[in-house]
A and B are shown apart, each in its own frame.
Chain A
Amino acid sequence: MLSIKNLHATVEGKPILKGINLDVKAGEVHAIMGPNGSGKSTLANVLAGRDDYEVTAGSIEFMGEDLLEMEPEERAWAGIFLAFQYPVEIPGVSNIYLLKAGLNAIRKNQGLPELDAMDFLKLAKEKLKTVEMKEEFLYRSVNEGFSGGEKKRNEVYQMAVLEPKLAILDETDSGLDIDALKIVADGVNALRGQDRAFVVVTHYQRLLDYIVPDVVHVLANGKVIKTGDKTLALELEKQGYGWIDEQAA
């Protein structure tokens, strides 16, 4: 589904990603772990198409298409979803309005009929259950006045509505208490399936107790330095990132 080859990227001229190779197949959950500054979030944002990042070498193929040639919305239409590490508050744009516009744009580009207001509302309400949110949530401005936990739940909620093929979760666990973490994990697990893949970026192993990965990659200094199964995450938890820093240096 996703094939990243020798990816190099810079932010304001500073190299952050220095040759990432990663293959994600449909149905898989990949965890990307690593110390602060290792390039985890950069990778997530490059996948979503944020233009503050410049790809200087390498390639990303998604479902056989050249992802780097696509605008952020075209990536969403193709089935990519980024759950933001820091979701922005957008005053004056309601959740429901944004989601309806987003979903219908995606459906249109996938050759599906657009949903009318009634059908959309039905779907939107149903999906609220997956993250235990109240209906009034729909009518509030995007993330405005939301607590940290509510913002993250909203990201997972949006994912549930948009049903992407590849979901990238950028530190969705940061700042969550254990109850919120479980809700977020349940939301993700409910979406797991043969046709869908996840890339879960996290600093801590904790989230992976609830979202059990198939593959774990350790990122350091802009490269994948180790790949293993879920036990690698446990190992990291025990040993910390110190040994990696030595290895990467």
Chain B
Amino acid sequence: MQELIENYRQQFAGLDLPVNQLAELRQQGLSRLGEMGFPTTRDENWRYTNIKPLLKQAFNVVTNPETTISNDQVMGFEIENLNSYKVIIVDGRLNTELSEQSLPAGLTLKNLAEVLEQDSERATTYINQLVPQATHGFMELNTAFIKNGVWVEVGENIEIAKPIELLFVSTGLENSLIQPRNVFIAAEQSQVKIIERYVSLSDQKSMTNTISEIYCAENTNVEHIRIQQESRATNHISGTFTKLAQDSHFSTSTITLGGNLTRNDLRCQISGTGAHSNMYGLYAANQRQHVDNFTQVEHQVANCTSDELYKGVLDDRARAVFHGRIYVAQDAQQTDAYQNNRTLLLSRDAEIDTKPQLEIYADDVKCSHGATIGQLNQEYLFYLRARGVEESKARRMLTFAFVKESLNAITIEPLKVYLEQQLDQQLLKGGHYGD
């Protein structure tokens, strides 16, 4: 592994990154990576996800993407009837020409590199503030190369009516490593919906390693939907880190359909009273796909609520991992936290490892968690068949109905319709959908 890290160190040394306040942060990332290395299955948090295939050789970190893409290529990813502020990010860098030109007052949207140059002090007050130190090597690798990504800022009292759709297009240069670094800031009393979508243009083996930090100030309402639709040759590692201030309402949906190996870390810090967090997830995997959702919600103060539901369908030899940790600090009385993970296995060879965890230090709380793994309900199946629905179709109807429940937190109707279509297509790629 040292050889691999040395390779990344050399790539780092070869870069001409501006010397500013971030230089130190990058350096720290690099040295921590050197100290801790990449995770192995001996790490408790990576026990069921073996990333060895990603460590065989170093990927080429793309810091100065040169590839251009056409508007037609972007149009291929269009979501029907979705009226959004479209932002196109190509290999990690925001492409202003392809992106929405007229933005409403109160919305700032920039390539991260621009913010770093113009106001690095402000950038450093937000960047890497929500990412716990030494979480895992990939995060450090992202930090070491911080440069591109999207900076979204919504001003006080501003309500952004249309969703902001961030389309991260990977052109899929062979063996490339794309590392977007995003910061989303919702100032007091603002409302915004952000769609973070990852797609790829080629089937070359590549990797995406991305981090988003989301700041929800007091009285905000933030809806966040992250959609993984990359090619099956892409490995995807992500970190989403959120901090909720008083009376803020945050809802996030993590949808994983594409990719080869996907690992999503999600961490929600609830640090202001009266805040609420929704954490929803959907995974539909087949063939040899692997999806690992590692989630944590931290109730640091009293009178907050959180609701977590992850649902998945696994077919063929697909594997999934769910880790859900609810942490309730001693002062976080009157917490109401709910967590559930439900997985449907369509094939004998599919596998789910689920690990719900409660860590509660307060004594006046309502917390529950549960996990179910199973097959289709036979009573439902008989009912549909008795109404004339053919068995295989009835099985599909029930499978689809089961998993789509985790799209319920999404309030953007055209997006929901689109995701249902994509989900159906994804399920059809499996060998036992309807068996």
Which A residues have a C-beta under 8 Å from some C-beta of B? Answer: 48-51, 71-73, 75-77, 81-82, 84, 87-88, 90-93, 97-99, 101-103, 105-106, 141-142, 158, 162
Q: How far is the CA of A99 from the CA of B405 in the complex (A)?
A: 21
Q: Is A101 in contact with B385, judged by CB distance below 8 angstroms?
A: no
Closest Cβ of chain A to B377, distance in Å, is 8
Interface 1/0s, chain B 374-417, versus A by CB < 8 A? Answer: 00010110111111111101100110111011000000000000
Residues of A within 8 A of B385 (CB): 49, 71-73, 76
Residues of B within 8 A of A81 (CB): 386
Closest Cβ of chain A to B168, distance in Å, is 30
Q: Given A84-B383, A101-B397, are A91 and B405 neighbors across the interface (CB < 8 Å)? A: yes
Q: Given A48-B386, A87-B383, A91-B405, are A71 and B397 neighbors across the interface (CB < 8 Å)? A: no
Q: Is A71 in contact with B391, judged by CB distance below 8 angstroms?
A: yes
Residues of A within 8 A of B405 (CB): 91-92
Residues of B within 8 A of A105 (CB): 388-390, 393
Q: Given A48-B386, A49-B386, A88-B383, are A93 and B391 neighbors across the interface (CB < 8 Å)? A: no
Closest Cβ of chain A to B403, distance in Å, is 9
Q: Given A102-B387, A102-B389, are A50 and B382 neighbors across the interface (CB < 8 Å)? A: yes
Closest Cβ of chain B to A160, distance in Å, is 13
Q: Is B404 in contact with A93, judged by CB distance below 8 angstroms?
A: no
Closest 3 CB pairs of A and B: A92-B401, A76-B388, A102-B387
Q: How far is the CA of A91 from the CA of B379 in the complex (A)?
A: 13
Closest Cβ of chain A to B382, distance in Å, is 6
Chain B residue, CB-CB nearest to A93: B401
Q: Is A98 in contact with B389, judged by CB distance below 8 angstroms?
A: yes
Of B388, B389, B404, which is in contact with the most chain A CB atoms at under 10 Å from its CB? B388
Closest Cβ of chain B to A89, distance in Å, is 9
Q: How far is the CA of A81 from the CA of B380 in the complex (A)?
A: 16
Chain A residue, CB-CB nearest to B380: A90
Q: Given A73-B390, A98-B389, A102-B389, are A92 and B400 neighbors across the interface (CB < 8 Å)? A: yes
Q: Given A91-B401, A92-B405, are A99 and B383 neighbors across the interface (CB < 8 Å)? A: no
**Cβ contacts A to B, 25 pairs, < 8 Å:** A49-B386, A71-B385, A72-B382, A76-B385, A76-B387, A77-B388, A81-B386, A88-B379, A90-B398, A90-B401, A91-B405, A93-B398, A98-B384, A98-B387, A98-B397, A99-B387, A101-B384, A101-B388, A101-B397, A102-B384, A102-B387, A102-B388, A102-B389, A105-B393, A162-B387
Interface residues on B, range: 20 to 34
Q: Is B380 in contact with A158, judged by CB distance below 8 angstroms?
A: no
Residues of A within 8 A of B388 (CB): 73, 76-77, 101-103, 105-106, 162
Q: Is B387 in contact with A88, judged by CB distance below 8 angstroms?
A: no
Residues of A within 8 A of B391 (CB): 71, 73
Q: Is B393 in contact with A101, judged by CB distance below 8 angstroms?
A: yes
Chain A residue, CB-CB nearest to B400: A92
Residues of B within 8 A of A99 (CB): 387
Closest Cβ of chain B to A237, distance in Å, is 31
Residues of B within 8 A of A71 (CB): 385, 391
Q: Is A76 in contact with B386, judged by CB distance below 8 angstroms?
A: yes
Closest Cβ of chain A to B257, distance in Å, is 18
Residues of A within 8 A of B400 (CB): 92
Chain B residue, CB-CB nearest to A101: B389
Closest Cβ of chain B to A129, distance in Å, is 21
Residues of B within 8 A of A98 (CB): 384, 387, 389, 397
Closest Cβ of chain A to B340, distance in Å, is 14
Chain B residue, CB-CB nearest to A72: B385
Residues of A within 8 A of B384 (CB): 90, 93, 98, 101-102
Residues of B within 8 A of A51 (CB): 382
Q: How far is the CA of A105 from the CA of B385 in the complex (A)?
A: 10
Residues of A within 8 A of B401 (CB): 90-93, 141
Q: Given A97-B397, A101-B397, are A90 and B387 neighbors across the interface (CB < 8 Å)? A: no
Residues of B within 8 A of A75 (CB): 386
Closest Cβ of chain B to A169, distance in Å, is 13
Beyond A73-B391, A91-B401, 12 extra complex contacts between A and B, CB < 8 Å: A48-B386, A50-B382, A72-B386, A73-B385, A73-B390, A76-B388, A88-B380, A90-B383, A98-B389, A98-B397, A99-B387, A101-B387
Q: How far is the CA of A91 from the CA of B390 in the complex (A)?
A: 19
Q: How far is the CA of A88 from the CA of B385 in the complex (A)?
A: 13
Q: Is B387 in contact with A158, judged by CB distance below 8 angstroms?
A: yes
